[in-house]
Amino acid sequence: MSDIAIQANKISKIYRLYDKPSDRFKEALLPGKRRSKDHYALTDIDLTIKKGETVGIIGTNGSGKSTILKIITGVLSPTMGEITVDGRISALLELGAGFNMEYNGIENIYLNGTMMGFSKKEIDEKLEAILAFADIGDYVYQPCKTYSSGMFVRLAFAVAINIEPEILIVDEALSVGDVFFQAKCYHKFEEFKQQGKTILFVSHDLSSIAKYCDRVILLNKGVKLDEGAPKEMIDAYKQVLVGQYKISDEKSELLDDEEIQELASKAASQGVNPELLEYGTGAANIHNYFITDKKGTRTTAVIKGEPFTIHFDVSFTEDIQAPIFAFTIKNIHGTEITGTNTMYEKAFLEPVKAGEVKKLTFTQDMNLQGGEYLLSFGVTGYEKDQFQVYHRLYDVINITVVSDKNTVGYYDMNSIVTVD
């Protein structure tokens, strides 16, 4: 009996792209004249997932993560290559796909269960567990078109995750509903791991990838760049984000020159908010802002517990007696979590002249919990006891904190625990 759950050999998926809709029609009428160009969503992908493994797939948007999952689940067919799956799959790809919005919740449970290959008797046996997991009360007897988005995804998730699969495939679906429902979803995920289920997990949540996965596969532009231990692959992913990943000769042959150039030119804009809020008197200008990890690599993903450095430059158009340079970190709900400035740190209490440029670095350990945060900058000061804002940039960079151990609240106290 094979110990392989999923085997993919030389999988490629090619789409034909047309400049305008009429070109598709013209090409069909005149097949000898090509009016389309090929887009490789996947190129020669090899995957081997063993039974009982939890494997993560990471990569930037457009790297082919969702495409490979859809091929594994049979939603898409590969253009080239072969895929073999040994075991019953439950796929959390597009929650609610296959639901009839005119049917009520109960009817949709039976509809989806039947589509998954279950008999009415088998669905009857699972119904109580599905309803308890969804926890939407009497709404389950109402048409799904009357549900809130939260109720809908709860029911869809409950149906998908309670069919006792041998292989669970998850695509960015563990962050549905409120915080209590999310906790329930992750508990079920842990339960599947403990039962030795095979799990294939795609997520931008690098903390979850680090915590749950035994092995991680790194994709980019439809090409499998590497695979290995979670922390090694997350580090490689961070290099991809800023165009510093060294592509092997073998892999570079699968990417065209334009794609390689695009990889190499991403450093300046990655993780920067294109719609940032800024204001100030104009006496100072903040620019050239970025973050580096402990190795000095530019990144927007920081490993919890490791040092990182915030960089920004400030140029001045006016003389300022005592500028104060600051940064703050907020959560995605807008709550300020932490921050500091040169006045608090007693690091710079000097005048500056018009035309000068100051280069600021703030280095500290990352003790925030795993998750997404927003970084803001400011240059302020006092003139005749009047507070002045020379330049402020709000929510300018997204920081992803990668953690395999979170505690309660916003930051980790790094407790040392003994039990006698």
pLDDT tens digits in sequence order for the chain, 420 residues long:
589 999 999 999 999 888 888 777 777 777 777 777 888 899 999 999 999 999 999 988 888 998 999 999 888 999 999 999 998 887 777 666 678 889 999 999 998 888 777 888 988 999 999 999 888 899 999 998 998 877 888 888 888 788 778 888 887 665 666 667 777 777 887 888 888 899 998 887 787 888 889 999 999 989 999 999 998 898 888 778 766 677 666 665 555 545 544 544 444 445 677 777 899 999 999 999 999 999 898 888 888 999 999 999 999 999 999 999 999 999 887 889 999 999 999 999 899 999 999 999 999 999 999 888 999 999 999 998 899 999 999 999 999 888 878 888 889 998 999 999
Given this model, what pLDDT does residue 149 score? 76
Given this model, what pLDDT does residue 268 score? 41
> Which 8-state DSSP code applies to residue 131?
H
Q: Where are the domains of the chain?
A: 4-88+165-234, 277-402
CA distance 270 to 260: 16
**In this structure, which topology does domain 4-88+165-234 adopt according to CATH?**
Rossmann fold (3.40.50)
3-class secondary-structure state, position 231: helix
Given this model, what pLDDT does residue 51 score? 93
In sign, the C-alpha dihedral spanning 93, 98, 103, 106 is negative
Predicted structure pTM score: 0.70
Give kind and range of the element (H or E) at residue 219: strand 215-220
Architecture of the CATH domain 277-402: Distorted Sandwich (2.70)
3-class secondary-structure state, position 178: coil
CA distance 251 to 245: 12
Q: Are 8 and 45 within 8 A, CB to CB? A: yes
CA-to-CA dists, residue 310 to 268, 344, 408, angstroms: 14, 16, 25
Q: Are 392 and 280 within 8 A, CB to CB? A: yes
> Burial code of 312-335, b = ≥16 C-beta within 10 A, e = fewer?
bebbbeeebeebbbbbbbbeeeee
